[in-house]
Amino acid sequence: MWRKRDVAGKVDVPNPAKVEDGTVAHYLVDLAIKVGTAVGTDTLTPSARSERMGRIRNRDTGPEMRVRRLAHGMGYRYRLYRADLPGKPDLVFPSRRKIIFVHGCFWHRHPDAGCTLARLPKSRLDFWRPKLEGNRARDLENQKKLIENGWRVLVVWECELRDAGRLERTLRGFLDDES
């Protein structure tokens, strides 16, 4: 493994608060082996992990903004995050009684077996599995309530954004359908 050394030949020790991945992560794994801690847990320090998790937003995410720009560019007008509706939908089309949720494959447990973004973390499964499955159950319950109240619901998954042409056809088909 490559390590940065200074002129005296000493290994440069990184600041643990700024550890993220790559060479530094490998350094931490090597360090963990030397001091006898568990390998395969987390490559980030707890403070670095906390900082990274704190940057995850629940609105105006990249995938959501792509769907919003596409829908707006296609001429559709919508409302955002109606708090009076179950699940605070991402895009609401009141005159059409239609709703679009933009879900991240990881956080909302995309059920497609071919989706690589919906993988489970390798560490702390006792924490992550119930949390992520709870998210999925809550999403399904909110969708059920919306349908019972006369709304039509479309869920756009993060991995579906790769093909813009297909996404445009999906949105147009959903929003123009009169049924």
79-80, strands of its sheet edge to edge: 79-80, 91-93, 98-103, 152-157
Please report the pLDDT score of residue 41 as a whole number.
62
Closest residue by Cα to residue 43 from 30, 16, 25 = 25
> In terms of CATH, what superfamily is 62-176?
VSR Endonuclease (3.40.960.10)
pLDDT in tens, 110-133: 988 888 888 888 888 888 899 999
Q: Which residues of 33-60 are buried (b: 16+ CB within 10 A; e: fewer)?
A: eeeeeeeeeebbbeebeeeeeeeeeeee
**Mean pLDDT in the chain?**
79
Please report the pLDDT score of residue 67 as a whole number.
94
Please report the pLDDT score of residue 64 as a whole number.
92
Where in the sequence of the chain do the CATH 3.40.960.10 domains occur? 62-176
The structure tokens listed for 114 are 């071919």
Residue 146 exposed, middle or buried by CB count within 10 Å (0-12, 13-18, 19+): buried
3-state secondary structure of 2: coil
